[in-house]
Amino acid sequence: MEYTLDTAQAGRFEICGRDGAARAGRLYTAHGVIETPVFMPVGTSGSVKALAPDDLHNLKAAVILGNTYHLHLRPGDDLIARRGGLHCFSAWDKAILTDSGGFQAFSLSALSRISEEGVTFRSHLDGSKHLFTPEKVMSIQANLNSDIMMVLDVCLPYGTLRAAACESVGRTTRWALRSLDFAPRERRAGRLLFAITQGAFFPELRAASAEQLAGYDFDGFAVGGLSVGESRAEMHDLVNFTAPLLPADKPRYLMGVGTPEDIVTGIAAGLDMFDCVLPTRNARNGTLFTSGGRINIKRREFAEDDGPLDPECSCYTCRTFSRAYLRHLFKAGEILSFRLNSLHNLAYYLNLARGAREAVLDGRFAAFRARIAEIYGENDSGSESE
């Protein structure tokens, strides 16, 4: 296995084409070039669930996520550092983006408490007490050998009142600047550092957050705090409002969102990078994304369906098995079902982003978007079922 490490170019971002606000770009990392728009499969605990690195290579994934919270608690980022970092440990030689762990510290842990210093929380595994500070999560991500590090941010639940949201914007900015102060050595080693904008569902706070951060030398800017329970329209409105406020010459990352239509909406607004557990989590529930829309493979109508899951897809699952067999595996609770379904759903999402990129370069993104909206718009069951 080859672990390319081109630290000299790391952080360079080229925009190769535009179509409206949508962009096609290239982001250089120490572990290869990421063509954007890009979908990034989520590998929470050092494994994209049910898949091996060779599966992800076959899907031509360029970057996967690792979760700082999960890996810090188990097996420990220090243990991973002693193995040479997450690439060596998990045998993945392309890029890795790690989140800051803040979202999980707030959402998975009981008794999380926030102060100016950082977030104190108890492990959901064994109840042990931990403190995440902006500096601490940088050093954890460095231990993981992350290519793209995210700053610690303040994550708010849906329905947070304006005063609390306003306070959290200021703190998120201060934490981002502490991260920036802490990061020079890591960035010289080729790691990128992305800031996260917050502001809950108040446009003026979103604007303030973007404005406070945009002037600083981050390698990219993310939109955080979405997909937390809001309506689809509300989310799309905020995406459209926020995207143009982020620096145009840097990669823009929409965190943890969403359905195929959400992603294409984000691309249309000028966002470049996307991650979500939806394709893999849905795969394990039997909900599969196809060029004709969502299907639930457990439905009786597929019992004797000899066609491929998605006739327009060329993934191993679609090339090899019938819907009838995939339904059988799911109904029988076979472990193989998780792998084959995950493989296909990720193929769908990765191809969606690649298809959007080609459409942008060919100047036909509007038609591309309209087609996805037709399939995955109003009629799609949306995020609420996941």
Q: Which residues are catalytic?
A: 99, 275
Distance CA 277, CA 255 (A): 11
Q: Which residue has the tokens 């994934």?
A: 61
Please report, for residues 112, 118, 205, 284, 369, the alpha-carbon distance to residue 162 in angstroms, rounded to integers and kept in the order given. 21, 21, 9, 37, 34
Of the candidates 124, 202, 194, the residue with the CA atom closest to the CA atom of residue 156: 202
Nearer to a second copy, 51 or 235 (CB): 51
CA-based R_g, the chain, Å: 20
CB of 266 to a second copy, least distance (A): 29
Nearer to a second copy, 53 or 251 (CB): 53
Nearer to a second copy, 141 or 337 (CB): 337
- 252-254 and 273-275 beta bridge pairing: parallel
DSSP state of 380: S
CB of 4 to a second copy, least distance (A): 18
Residue 338: Cβ-neighbour burial (10 angstroms; 0-12, 13-18, 19+): buried
What are phi and psi for residue 16, nearest 5 degrees? -95, -20
CB of 199 to a second copy, least distance (A): 34
Nearer to a second copy, 331 or 354 (CB): 331
Nearer to a second copy, 12 or 328 (CB): 328
Of the candidates 232, 178, 168, the residue with the CA atom closest to the CA atom of residue 200: 168
> Which spans of this chain sit near a second copy (rule: CB under 8 A)?
1, 45-47, 49-54, 70, 74-75, 79, 82-83, 89-91, 303-304, 306, 316, 320-322, 324-325, 327-329, 331-332, 334-336, 338-340
Nearer to a second copy, 96 or 352 (CB): 96
CB of 96 to a second copy, least distance (A): 15
CB of 89 to a second copy, least distance (A): 6
Distance CA 253, CA 270 (A): 10
User: What angle do the packed helices 203-214 and 162-182 form, to 10 degrees?
Assistant: 20
CB of 351 to a second copy, least distance (A): 21
Q: Is residue 32 a contact partner of residue 94, using CB atoms and an 8 Å limit?
A: yes
- Three-class SS of residue 275? strand
